[in-house]
Structure formats: structure tokens, C-alpha cells
Amino acid sequence: MLTPIRCSDAITRCSYCAVRAHRLHLRSLRLHSTEAPRSQEAATETRRNYPGTRSLGLTGKRSEFRPRDGEGRTRRSESKFGSGGNGSRRVVLDNASPIRKVSGRGYELPSGVVEKQWDKKPATFSEALQTRLTVMKEELKDAPVIERMRRDAKAEGRNADSFPQLWKSFLLESGLWSISKGGVPFEGLALKGRAEGASVIDDLRDAFRAQGQRGLDNRIKYAFYGHITGARFTDSELANQQAVADLRYPSEWYPATRTLQRVIHLHVGPTNSGKTYHALKRLEEAEKGVYAGPLRLLAHEVYTRMNARGKICALVTGEERRVPEAVKDAEGYLTSCTVEMVPLNMHLDVAVIDEIQMIGSNDRGWAWTQALLGLKAKEVHLCGEERTVPLIREIAASLGEKLVIHHYKRLSPLQIADQSLNGNLKDLRKGDCIVSFSVIGIHALRKQIERDTGRK
């Protein structure tokens, strides 16, 4: 349970600030309590200490303490503040108010109300860091990870480092030791230590700028946990982890796939040129294969087409999974899925990856990269635009795999109409193409065309 910060005998010069501070204090008593009895106790204590005070209202042009029923207001004092004239507001105080005017000093706040420090400048990063290091040292002393390390050391028959030793080593290696003692960063550190600690200091400074004290506390925790966890690994173990996490060379990914000698077929051409049709014809001839498309709608279309032609085909997307009963007894079957759901651990005869130009997408490009590099298929058919040829050629060369490029031309010409339909869909003729830029727009146009023309 959190306890609100208390400050007795707080003084403020502004009566409105005094009212607002007391209102925030009452609110903190409710918000900082995680137990219902504690909240009721706080409310009872407030009514006992400040009899006559029922609620605080700060809405509208007039803000006042409202007494409980049956208790009248015997004294009123008013204080104007603000810009004056029509722009000024009033705070009405009475004998039930816990705020007292102190002669020559301003308005005195009750015990437990924290004064708003309007004139105090915000703490600098160095000041905040020095303060939070002291606070976090006490908080992390009993962290669960420390207790777990002690249990592990006891089970292994060795002595665990004490928390002061861990904290001191963390401060020394991260360049925070001198700051915790009121000095400057990296004081007394060698050049290597300064380079390692600079990243920690930069992370803490960025967190403080973005989220203030809360962000600084979180980054100190993460940095400390990372230090004590990483200290348990040897140099060889750390080097091995860095090698595994090194993703600079995609041609070395998926070593099981690299043992296969695949053939990549790249089908390129404009829309309605037959590139996907020819790739799917090859998929129909395969015993085991997969189709990977960018949309669930396309995956469902291929799933329906393959099953209609007597091929056992399963549908796997992020939203649904349809696996026919015949799959259990079949030696091989086809799978139609969205590109994020491709089976990388399955040996296949043919794999079709549609819309390969999406490999350049900042959001979903990883899925096409994963499918192209990881699918264990004898033949990989890629369908996309002409502009993808240089990139796919370079990837195939880095993988040492054969690339066959198939170029297609548009089967039927596409020309823009000379005149607009002006919203009259009845003037549509057979062979017309209507373009929409959203799924909702496509379905809305389809329904409207069917309603107005009777065609599908």
C-alpha cells in the first residue's frame, strides 16, 4: 500500500492554491489506498479532523467549501486573485475550512497537504539521478532476483555476493559511482569503462527526458538487473550469445534450408497478366505445397479453388484454421495461408509466395523475408512486380540458388474511360473495371452494383 507524502505546517500565499492543494490531498487519500478499509478510514479521519467539510467544489466562477446538512456558515472571508476584473475568481472560506489565514504569512495548509512548489525549478538530470540512485538502492535491496540468486548460489554450494557488493560493482561499471557520491560521471574510470558506461548514462538521460522520475526509476532497475544477470555468464558464453543474435548476414539464416538446393522462379508482370495463375498451376501438380498470400481473402480463395479441384488443402490464417479430415490419412496435402503463417519446418515440393514486392514493407516485410529464406521447398515461386527483379537476383546469388525469371504481359488492355459515370452504375458495361482503395469500399460497391444492375 502506497503512503502519500506528508508535509506539516505548509504555507502558501494564494488561497486558491491552498484550496486546490487540500482537494488534491483528499483525492490522494482515495487513490493511494489499495484496500477499501483504508479508504474508509481516510474518509473518517478527514471528517473527524475537519468537521463541517463535506466536499470541495472548484467548478464554475465560484469555488467554495460546502458544509454538511444542518450546519450553517458562520464566517466568510473572501480573497480575490487572478488577473482582476471579470477574469478574477473567488474562494469562499468558512469556520469549517481546514485552511487558516496566518497574519503576514499567507494561508496555512493543514497537516498532510503538500504545497505546490510553483517557484521551484525542476531538478536537473544529475540531481534527479543522484537522488533516485539512493532511493532505488533501498528498493532493490529486497528484489526477488536477489533472493533467487542467493538460493541458486546456495544450491550450487558457493557464496553469493552481498547486495552492497553487487550495487557497488553496478555503479562502477556503469559510470554512476561518482554521481552517487556527488561527483561527475566516469571519474576515475579507464577509457574502456567510460565507453561502456556512456551507453547507460545516455539511456538514463533519455528516459528522464521522456518520462521523468518514473522513467528514470525503470531504467535504473533494468540496468541493475541486466548487470547482475550478465555477470553470471562467462566471456565465451557472452560471445556465443552475440554470435547467435548477429543478424547481419541473412544468407546464414535457416541452416536446414541452406542444405537444400532450391530453384527460385520469379513471375513478374502487371496486374491481370497470369503470373499468379501459372504459379498456382504448378502448385496443383505438387504433392506437398503451400501458398502464402498477403490477405486472408486471397488465402481463402486459393483454399476454395484447390478443394474444388479435388486437391486436399488446409487453410491457416491468423484468425482461423481449417484442416480437412482427409489430411490425417493423406501422405501429402496443400496449405493455403497468410504469409505470416508459413510452415518453415515442413519439407515441400512447391511453395508459392504472392506479392513478393511486399518484402520492402517496413511493417510486414519481415514475413516475406522469412518465407523466402526459410521455406524448405524444392521450388519456390515468387509472384510480384517488375521492380523486384534486382533485389531477388541479389538475394538468390547470396544464397547460391538458381533463379529463373518469367516475364508476363497484360492479357487484356486497360484504358481509362473518357467520361465519368456520374454515379450512375447502370451505365456499366461488361469488361469494365472499378477500382476501390479499401476492403469496405469494395464490398459496398459490389452490393450497390448488384442492386442497381442485377449483375454479379
Is the predicted pLDDT of residue 38 greater than 80, yes or no?
no
How far is it, in rounded angstroms, from Cα 101 to Cα 76?
A: 12
In this predicted structure, the answer to whether residue 109 has a pLDDT above a threshold of 60 is no
Of 55-64, 138-147, 153-162, 379-388, which has the strongest mean pLDDT?
A: 379-388
pLDDT of residue 426: 82
Lowest mean pLDDT among 6-20, 68-82, 190-204, 351-365: 68-82
pLDDT at 367: 95
Q: Is the pLDDT of residue 383 over 90?
A: yes
pLDDT at 243 over 70: yes
Task: Flag the least confident range among 21-25, 184-188, 261-265.
Answer: 184-188
Could you tell me which residues come within 8 angstroms of residue 97 by beta carbon, excluding any fewer than 6 positions away?
50, 53, 65
Q: Which residue has the higher pLDDT, 188 or 274?
A: 274
> Measured in Å, how far apart are the chain's first and last C-alpha atoms?
65
pLDDT score recorded for residue 64: 42
d(CA 62, CA 82): 13
Taking residues 14-27, report their average pLDDT: 66
Task: Quickly list H helices, 285-346.
Answer: 296-308
pLDDT score, position 265:
97
pLDDT single digits (tens) 320-356: 999 888 777 677 899 999 999 999 989 999 999 999 9
Long-range contacts of 169-175 (CB under 8 A, 24+ apart): 169/227, 169/231, 170/223, 170/224, 170/227, 170/228, 171/133, 173/197, 173/227, 174/200, 174/201, 174/223, 174/227, 175/200, 175/201
Mean of pLDDT values over 362-367: 93
| C-alpha–C-alpha distance, residues 283 and 267, integer Å | 14
Higher pLDDT, 181 or 319: 319
Beta bridge partners of 102: 106
Cell 541452416 belongs to residue:
255
* Angle at the Cα of 78 from the Cα atoms of 73 and 79, rounded to 5 degrees: 150
Q: What angle do CA 240, 246, 248 make, to 5 degrees?
A: 150
pLDDT at 122: 60
Mean pLDDT, residues 281-306: 94
Question: Residue 123: its pLDDT value, please?
Answer: 72
pLDDT at 73 exceeding the cut of 90? no
Model's pTM, two decimal places? 0.52
Can you read off the three cell numbers belonging to residue 423?
Answer: 454515379
Q: What are the helix (H) ranges across 156-291?
A: 163-174, 177-180, 191-230, 235-244, 255-258, 275-284
pLDDT tens readout for residues 76-95: 433 333 334 444 334 444 44
pLDDT for res 76: 41
